[in-house]
Amino acid sequence: MSTASPVLDLDRFEQLAAAGEITTVVCAAPDPYGRLVGKRLTVSAFRSLGLAGSGVNASSFIFGVDLEMNPLELPVSNAANGWVDIRLVPDLSTLRRVPWEPTAALVICDAYHMDSDQPLAVAPRTILRHQLDRAAERGLGFKFASELEFYLATTPPRQAWELGYQNLTMMSDYRSDYQMVQAARDDWFIERIRNQMPEFGVSIESSKPEWGLGQQEVTLDYCDALEMADRHVLFKYGVKQLAHNADLTVTFMAKPKIDEVGSSCHLHVSMWSTDSGESLCWSAEHEGMSRRFGSFVAGQLLHAADNSLLFAPTINSYKRFQPDQFAGTAIALGNDNRSCAFRLVGTGPSFRVENRIPGADVNPYYAYAATIAAGIDGIDRELAMPEIFEGNAWGGNDISTVPTAMHQSLHLFAGNKMARSAFGDEVFEHLLASSRCELEAFDSHTVTDWESRRYYERV
């Protein structure tokens, strides 16, 4: 593994470009689904547009489309405004080499209006930055870690597409959660992730086989919120690239098959002082949560159901919410209790709360922003420290649960006064409208396999 820093300063970039070691610069911004969208530039174009110029032009439609890239006629981009251009401005602190593309560099961009220096409010990175600014006003900073799961099939990607992603040959033949024999069998590929992701600026803690057939879990090292959201997106981008290069098919769907366990993205979050740099989570006096962190966590529980749309963004997300499969369905706080949606982990400086609601399909910028907004509300209102639930929360009396269908989630989010106030009307309405379009596409424009089998010959 290279010992050189994965992040490039401009002097090093120019040295590599002059030597012909970098010939392409990927300028990309995270889209509403956590995908990277943008353009691949020559070095000279990157110098003139990204460094000396005002940014890379792109249509605002990249923030106003569905997963099929169909325009949604949202306020940010529509026929009336001509799907107006925006500017993608490189955040040079994110410039890095791409290990599996030896002559390519990549930089994450922020989105700006074409005719002003105002950031595009509905861009995912802007949404998270706004919540971080609100937290900083209160002297608070946050560190996150995403714990992602995904499935691997040995069926090549083109063949998997032609099969409609049905009857794929998975990486493992039987349940192998934590099993090191299976881990060794898989490591011809998984070691590429562990070794090349750090070279991509995405620090890895560990990997292991998960419960599902072909399912893997890779844990990312924690860091500041914005950088962690960037790493989350870069990780998924990288795994998809590496899998394709290895003729494997990968999915981060929350629930690829109804008879298989879902893929989670557990979010670990801790709260820090921007003045002293110290953790604000742990109280030595109480040997547990500090009072202020208790209010932060109480805000998470209070708003968990209303914020679920930002933790579970797709139709498929809700298929994962089965009570006996370790999904975060029971809105309770437990001390190292995996039946609870929120789980306290660690002690002292490592003390944190884990949110088990999101699936692997989550957009980290939205989920982190929702987490911070809910926590700030809890702190501002000085909510009482939540009680610790003991036992099986799935069977607990009077335990609220997350919505199990997107209809319910949308209804709750539409009435979410906290989120509207925290995000602002423009962003709130954008998020709501985008999700309504997704639900309408499923409800009104799709005939499922279930319907065909149930009704084709029998009605």
354-363 residue pLDDT tens: 999 999 999 9
pLDDT tens digits in sequence order for the chain, 459 residues long: 344 568 899 999 999 999 999 999 999 999 999 999 999 999 999 999 999 999 999 999 999 999 999 999 899 999 999 899 999 999 999 999 999 999 999 999 999 999 999 999 999 999 999 999 999 999 999 999 999 999 999 999 999 999 999 999 999 999 999 899 999 999 999 999 999 999 999 999 999 999 999 999 999 999 999 999 999 999 999 999 999 999 999 999 999 999 999 999 999 999 999 999 999 999 988 788 999 999 999 999 999 999 999 999 999 999 999 877 788 899 999 999 999 999 999 988 899 999 999 999 999 999 999 999 999 999 999 999 999 999 999 887 789 999 999 999 999 999 999 999 999 999 999 999 999 999 999 999 999 999 999 999 999
pLDDT tens-place string over residues 146-160: 999 999 999 999 999
Question: Residue 357 CA to chain centroid, in angstroms?
Answer: 12
Cβ 97 vs Cβ 105: under 8 Å:
yes
Give the H or E element holding residue 231. helix 225-245
Amino acid at 336: D
Cβ 285 vs Cβ 382: under 8 Å:
no
- Give residues with Cβ within 8 angstroms of 127, minimum separation 6: 121, 365, 366, 369, 423, 427
DSSP 152: E
Angle between helices 225-245 and 364-380 (to 10 degrees): 160
* CA 353 – CA 362 distance, rounded (Å): 18
